[in-house]
Structure 1
Amino acid sequence: MRILNHRITRIAVGILLLVLVAVALLPGVTGVTSLDGTVNARLAVINAPIDGEVAGSPLRIGTPVSEGEALATIRNERVNRAILASLRSEHRTAVGRVAALERERAELSQLRNQLSERLEVFQRATIASLERELQILRKRVDVSRAQDLVAQVDLGRRQDLESRGIFARKMVESAKAAGAATGGEVEVNSLTVELLQHRLEAVRQGIFVGGDGQNDVPYSRQRQDEVIVRINDLNTRIAENRTRASQSEQQMAEEERRVRSLESATILSPFKGVVWSRNIVGGSNVILNNEMMRVLDCRELFVDILVPEVDYDEIYPGREAEVRLFGRSETFKGKVQSVKGSSAVVEKDLLAANEPETDERNARIRILLAPSALNTDFASFCQTGRTVQVRISKRAVRLSQWIESLWFSLF
């Protein structure tokens, strides 16, 4: 009892109590500390891209995955292929029509060549015939001119004898008529020669003129014109069917890609992470856009904490923080990512852990953790959901401000 009543003992106890009070108040004065933080990360929902059945065994929960790694495969044997079959039939029909029309065109081209050869033979024969007729008429012109000359000589002689009184007037008139007949025959034969000459020139140019002045088109030329018209029509139909075949081929390629995309689908991991949950097993039937599994994104880990709103101005984006997992002495670096007031509307992200909730006036702080061993600790789901202690140091100890705020809260 004397020791307890000793003055030195009382002083020591008083100093110890002051130290304890200082230690209790020092963290609040020098910084902000939160004990309700939780390691959190975002989840990626993997939906079924097609209807079908899960082939094989999908990855189990807790399996680490790399970016682009196959998560599951879906097979669908009930894809509608009726449109693809119709397009293939249409394409085959168009290609068959093109081939048939090209064969017909080739046959008509051969016939056109044959008709052209026959027309050429006919033209040569006609030219030769007209040339022979022209030679004969020219000979007739020469004979007619000789006969006309004889008639004129005979007329002169008879006129001379008439003037002497030897021949009668009747004989002179007879000689005149004979001379006129021979002169007309010469003129007619000359005109016929000119006509045949014009016909010969026309035939040489491929124009056949009849005897009555109308075109006398040979059968070969008529058939050749008909064949040319038919070939032009075939060219148009071939171009149309080729266009149809090309269009159906493009549509068929698009439909084949669509069918292939619906027949099978392999779901790939969008990033490096770990399988968080799954709703399927091997052989499960899935429907388009139904949730299949969730993948934990360990690339960006963060911690959500609540601090009294009186410290709102002391915490702002970019401030450094220290994070310690409960049960560990190791600390991890982090930076304040966002600060929201207690009444701010918080959009709910798809997170792996629950965000802290409170009815008090607390600011919501999100701290982004720096890359560390936690980001690759897939066996423990990157420590997601683990409770942590967070401390954000103040730049300066403002004792006066603390006392003023304490005074304001008390009175």
Structure 2
Amino acid sequence: MAALVIWLPVQRLFQTTSVEAIVNARTLTLRAPIDGVVSSAPASLAIGATFPAGTPLLHITNSRADRTRFDDLRRLEEHTEIEAAALKTRLDNIERMHSDFVAQTRLFQIGRIAQLEARIEESKSNLAASTTRQEETAAVLERALELDSKGFQPKALLEKVRRDDEIAKQDVRSIEQRIKGIAVELDSAKSGSFLGDSYNDRPRSSQRADELQQQVVELSAQLTEKQLMIRQLKKEIDVERDRLQLNSDAQVLAPSSSAVWELLTAPGEHVQRGQELMRLLDCNAALVTAVVSETVYNRLQIGSSASFRLRDGDVAMPGRVVNLTGVASATANYAIAPSSLRKEQYRVAVEVPDLANDGQGCHLGRTGQVIFANQSGAAITATAQ
């Protein structure tokens, strides 16, 4: 009896096997992306149902999504479009009026040039007549001077002839200067300025055309500004429409190929954003959780090679140690909490890829045997009880 009492603790010190090993899998928690009412997407949504990645599982609609910003932008866009249309109409009318005044100014310029050219021709004719008269008075003055030198010409008549000759010369000079002035007016008219037109150098139609041209420039700038504003508003409306769509309608998709583990909501229920909706069992990440003795635990490290054999099977599936929690709390997102393995305190997680690739699901909850290989090649066994 004394030997037995002493041997049991000593045997525990030399024990190299764990006492529990079980197939486990991580769970995925799906939360509500928006506030709204839940509706079931597939009719077959039930505990244990499997779905491939990307399958819509739940549909959430929120008829009370805040659309104030979207409506404000739409109203502002409509108001801006109305203003732009009014500016366009006004611009078209002013451009039409401007074209009419430009045409009127052009007709006035053509008529003014023709008038001045006619006046020049008239003045040239008058100049020719005055030149002839001046030549005639010059000849008369020459004869009068000759008669005066011989004493046959009265002094009064000589003075009259001289006066007539001087007047004829001044007439010629006056007509020549008038022709120069008309030529200046003609050159100005050809360039668009009209000298002698009351106190203005341009007619009223031309001045009005200039005023309308300034209005055309201003209205064109305002119209361009409105059009740029409309384009910017359209971009903001598209962004706000996408945001409104995200907040008013959302589908909850399966993140990976998985099975429904737990349903936390039902169709017709109103949920809050971030509220848990369901938990999925991710069989693609199947692994084995085991508890080992302190001696075995101290010999293990992350990445250590291991193999797993189901309790009723004879095929050893290769794996590796991915987590060593010891006496600390293990990860909480396991379908079977590692804390339920209570025969030892030191917990180990072993990744076994073949569990997810054998086409038979996760084998969740099945027990088996994990064999760890230490650095010296010796086998350390964890046996399910």
Q: TM-score, normalised by structure 1?
A: 0.80
Residue in structure 2 matched with residue 170 of structure 1 by the alignment: 156
Residue in structure 1 matched with residue 348 of structure 2 by the alignment: 365
Q: 1:278 aligns with which of 263, 285, 288?
A: 263
Task: Give CA deviations for 1:350-405 in whole Å, capped at 9, x if unaligned.
Answer: 11111147899965322112323786545xxx33233433333666669xxxxxxx
Letter in 2 for 1:371: D
User: Do the aligned residues in 1 keep the contact of 2:291 with 2:343 (CA within 8 Å)?
Assistant: no
| Equivalences for residues 177-192 of structure 1 within 5 A | 177-192=163-178
The structure-2 alpha-carbon separation of the partners of 1:202 and 1:397, relative to structure 1 and needing over 3 Å to count, comes to closer
The structure-2 alpha-carbon separation of the partners of 1:300 and 1:359, relative to structure 1 and needing over 3 Å to count, comes to closer
Q: CA deviation at 1:340?
A: 3.5
SS across alignment from 1:383: coil
User: Do the aligned residues in 2 keep the contact of 1:57 with 1:281 (CA within 8 Å)?
Assistant: no
Letter in 2 for 1:136: E
SS across alignment from 2:46: coil
User: Do the aligned residues in 1 keep the contact of 2:18 with 2:344 (CA within 8 Å)?
Assistant: no
The structure-2 alpha-carbon separation of the partners of 1:79 and 1:334, relative to structure 1 and needing over 3 Å to count, comes to same
Identity %: 23
Give structure 2 stretches of 5+ with no counterpart: 1-10, 380-385
Q: 2:38 aligns with which of 25, 33, 54?
A: 54
Is 1:105 the counterpart of 2:86 in the alignment? no
Q: CA deviation at 1:217?
A: 0.9
Residue in structure 2 matched with residue 43 of structure 1 by the alignment: 27
Letter in 1 for 2:121: Q
Residue in structure 1 matched with residue 222 of structure 2 by the alignment: 237
Q: CA deviation at 1:66?
A: 1.1
User: Do the aligned residues in 1 keep the contact of 2:40 with 2:57 (CA within 8 Å)?
Assistant: no
The structure-2 alpha-carbon separation of the partners of 1:146 and 1:73, relative to structure 1 and needing over 3 Å to count, comes to same
Q: CA deviation at 1:240?
A: 0.6
SS across alignment from 2:368: strand
User: Do the aligned residues in 2 keep the contact of 1:301 with 1:375 (CA within 8 Å)?
Assistant: no
Q: Distance in 1 between matches of 2:50 and 2:329?
A: 31
Residue in structure 2 matched with residue 208 of structure 1 by the alignment: 194
Letter in 2 for 1:309: E
Q: TM-score, normalised by structure 2?
A: 0.85
Q: CA deviation at 1:45?
A: 0.8
Residue in structure 2 matched with residue 225 of structure 1 by the alignment: 210
Residue in structure 2 matched with residue 309 of structure 1 by the alignment: 294
Give structure 1 stretches of 5+ with no counterpart: 1-24, 399-411
Residue in structure 2 matched with residue 88 of structure 1 by the alignment: 74
Which range is displaced more, 384-393 or 301-310? 384-393
Residue in structure 2 matched with residue 264 of structure 1 by the alignment: 249
Q: 2:371 aligns with which of 391, 395, 399?
A: 391
Q: CA deviation at 1:211?
A: 6.6
Task: Give CA deviations for 1:176-199 in whole Å, capped at 9, x if unaligned.
Answer: 222111111110110101111121
Which range is displaced more, 311-320 or 268-277? 311-320
User: Do the aligned residues in 1 keep the contact of 2:46 with 2:260 (CA within 8 Å)?
Assistant: yes
The structure-2 alpha-carbon separation of the partners of 1:293 and 1:342, relative to structure 1 and needing over 3 Å to count, comes to closer
Q: Distance in 2 between matches of 1:387 and 1:305?
A: 10
Which range is displaced more, 313-322 or 61-70? 313-322
Residue in structure 2 matched with residue 143 of structure 1 by the alignment: 129
Q: CA deviation at 1:226?
A: 1.0
Q: CA RMSD in A?
A: 2.8
Q: CA deviation at 1:304?
A: 2.1
User: Do the aligned residues in 1 keep the contact of 2:338 with 2:347 (CA within 8 Å)?
Assistant: no
Q: CA deviation at 1:314?
A: 4.7
Letter in 2 for 1:254: V
The structure-2 alpha-carbon separation of the partners of 1:377 and 1:277, relative to structure 1 and needing over 3 Å to count, comes to farther
User: Do the aligned residues in 2 keep the contact of 1:72 with 1:266 (CA within 8 Å)?
Assistant: yes
Residue in structure 2 matched with residue 155 of structure 1 by the alignment: 141
Q: CA deviation at 1:311?
A: 3.2
Q: Distance in 2 between matches of 1:386 and 1:57?
A: 32
Is 1:34 the counterpart of 2:18 in the alignment? yes
Higher Rg of the two aligned structures: 1
Task: Give CA deviations for 1:156-210 in whole Å, capped at 9, x if unaligned.
Answer: 1111111111223333222222211111111011010111112112212222112
SS across alignment from 2:365: coil
The structure-2 alpha-carbon separation of the partners of 1:188 and 1:130, relative to structure 1 and needing over 3 Å to count, comes to same
Residue in structure 1 matched with residue 337 of structure 2 by the alignment: 354
The structure-2 alpha-carbon separation of the partners of 1:373 and 1:228, relative to structure 1 and needing over 3 Å to count, comes to closer
User: Do the aligned residues in 1 keep the contact of 2:24 with 2:287 (CA within 8 Å)?
Assistant: yes
Query: How many aligned residue pairs are there?
Result: 364
Q: Distance in 2 between matches of 1:372 and 1:346?
A: 25
Q: Distance in 1 between matches of 2:358 and 2:284?
A: 6
